[in-house]
Amino acid sequence: MLIVPTLEKMKQLKLSGMVKAFEEQLRSQNYSKLNFDERLGHLIEQEALDRDNRRLAGRLKSAKLKHNACLENLSFKSDRNLDRSVVLSLGQCKWIKEHRNILITGYTGVGKSFLACALAHKACLEGYSSLYARVPKLLVELAVAHGDGRYPKIMSSIAKVDLLIIDDWGLSRLNEMERKDFLEIIEERHDLKSTIVTSQIPVKNWHELIGDSTIADAILDRLVHNSYRIELDGPSLRKVQNENGKKEIDKNNKKPEIKSSSKKEK
Q: What's the confidence (pLDDT) of residue 74?
A: 93
Cα 159 to Cα 29, 103, 153, 180, 238: the distances in Å are 52, 18, 10, 15, 33
What is d(CA 58, CA 62) in angstroms, rounded to the nearest whole number?
6
Q: Taking a C-beta distance cutoff of 8 angstroms, is the pair 112, 106 a contact?
A: yes
Q: Reply yes or no on domain 64-241 having CATH 3.30.460.20.
A: no
Q: What's the confidence (pLDDT) of residue 212?
A: 87
Q: What's the confidence (pLDDT) of residue 2?
A: 74
Please identify every stretch of the chain with a pLDDT value under 50, giving residue numbers as ranges. 243-249, 255-256, 258-266
Instruction: Give backbone dihedrals phi and psi of 38, rounded to 5 degrees, phi first.
Output: -70, -40
The pLDDT tens digits for 136-155 are 999 999 999 999 999 999 99
Q: Cα 213 to chain center, whole Å?
A: 32
Nearest CA to 233 out of 78, 114, 64 is that of: 78
Bridge partners of 199, per DSSP, are: 105, 169
Q: What's the confidence (pLDDT) of residue 252?
A: 55
Q: Which amino acid makes up residue 263? A: K
How much is the pTM?
Answer: 0.80
Q: What's the confidence (pLDDT) of residue 10?
A: 85
Domain boundaries, the chain: 3-62, 64-241
236-245: long-range pairs with CB below 8 Å, 24+: 236/107, 236/108, 236/109, 236/110, 237/75, 237/109, 237/110, 237/111, 237/114, 238/109, 239/109
Q: What's the confidence (pLDDT) of residue 254?
A: 57
The pLDDT tens digits for 231-260 are 998 887 755 555 444 444 455 555 445 444
Those residues whose C-beta lies under 8 Å from the C-beta of residue 228, and which sit 6 or more positions away, are 86, 90, 95, 100, 101, 102, 103
